[in-house]
Amino acid sequence: MKRYTGIACVHCPTKFQDNDDVVVCPICGAPHHRDCYNELGRCALSDRHANGEVWQPPGNVAPSEARGEQVVCPNCMAPNPKSSQYCQMCGTKLHTTMQDRREPPIIHEGGFTPPPGTVYTGNVDNTDQWELQGVSAREISTYIGNNSHYYFKQFRSIQMKSTGWSWNWSAFLFGPFYFLYRKLYLLGGAVLALYILSYIPAGIFIFEYSKMIAPDYGGLALAYNLELMNTMVTVFRIGQIIVYTLMGLQALYANRLFMQKVLKDIKEIRQQMPHEAGSREYYAQLYFAGRPNRMVVLVAIFIMFTLFSMLFQHLQSVVQIPLQS
């Protein structure tokens, strides 16, 4: 990475050359030679992470800025080539007015910017220098798109915690629909199936209860199973405890699971495009691979609505039939 040329490795401390393979700590942003990082198996400044210290280049100035080779984006503070007209991180127009910054193009030099809308918002320390398991912040931001700033914070928090979890309100409130939206299809489908199964006892109870009260509303004498009703109430309560526990677990680990998917997908795209990595086509592929899937969420809601509609239609048809002697 040329942005570190002339800066000393935090471990050796040999200065970086233009073509050196640099590994940047995802927590503090400290640069290492890849061999140095592999030798240590961790960041050379890991003992300072607990204090929240962040590595700063000599003179507290970003290396690229010090050499005058790059310009800092006024929106996300990411360094960019001086010749670029648009930020390669968030698509904000450089060297222009605030009005122009709000209208980034779809394609720009050296990267890919999705249609109008914020891809990366706010500031994250050392964003352009940060990488996670060999994947750069620029790649992660392009893949995630909107809310990438939120996930940057969550991913860094997960790396700093030994427990490896962080809270996700969307996963807590929307459960399987969140996973389906983020293309974690297998997990989302499994959680949705558990949710549906947990309400089957309630459906059976309602079915039997409707037959029990049918004489009061329709003058019909229908056979019902009181013992089954009591059993279904107990089973439903147990199912609700399981559902609430599941809601908590999915909220705690959704960010970690999504992080693993992001890194896995980006690395797979790299393998599929070994010669195009870093090109416009490469970032376009990341963009489309990471887009949330709204359609599958609508399909899942439609399936649930259809199932419950069929249940109530069946219940209505049974209640209207008199008890045969």
Decide if domain 1-59 falls under CATH 2.40.30.
no
CB of 43 within 8 A of CB of 26?
Answer: no
What is residue 75's predicted lDDT score, i.e. its pLDDT?
A: 54
pLDDT tens across 187-227, in order?
999 999 999 888 888 888 888 888 888 777 666 777 888 89
Q: What is the pLDDT of residues 2-27, one digit of tens each?
A: 567 788 899 887 888 878 888 887 77
**Positions of CATH 3.30.40 in the chain:** 1-59
The answer to which of 59-63, 237-241, 303-307 has the lowest mean pLDDT is 59-63
- Backbone φ and ψ of 143, nearest 5°: -65, -50
**Is 154 in contact with 229 (CB distance < 8 Å)?**
no
Q: What is the 3-state secondary structure (H, E, C) of 161-217?
A: CCCCCCCCHHHHHHCHHHHHHCCCHHHHHHHHHHHHHHHHHHHHHHHHHHHHHHHHH
**Comparing 302 with 17, which gets the higher pLDDT?**
302
**How many residues are present in the chain?**
325
Q: How far is CA 159 from CA 49, 132, 251, in A?
A: 11, 9, 17
Q: What six digits make up the tokens of 107? A: 């394609």
Q: Are 286 and 277 in contact (CB under 8 A)?
A: no
Q: Which helix (H) or strand (E) holds 97?
A: none
Contact predicate 140/148, CB 8 Å: yes
Cβ burial of 165 (10 Å; 0-12, 13-18, 19+) is middle
The model's pTM is 0.60
Q: What are the tens digits of pLDDT across the range 72-110? A: 666 555 556 666 666 555 556 666 544 444 343 343 434
Region 129-143 average pLDDT:
82
Q: Render pLDDT for 28-81 as a digit per residue (tens, 0 to 9).
A: 778 888 888 888 888 888 887 766 677 777 754 444 444 445 666 665 555 566
Give the amino acid at 167.
W
Query: Per residue in 150-183, pLDDT tens?
Result: 888 888 888 777 677 889 999 999 999 999 999 9
Residue with the two structure tokens 């495009």: 273
Residue 218 pLDDT: 63
Q: Are 199 and 311 in contact (CB under 8 A)?
A: no
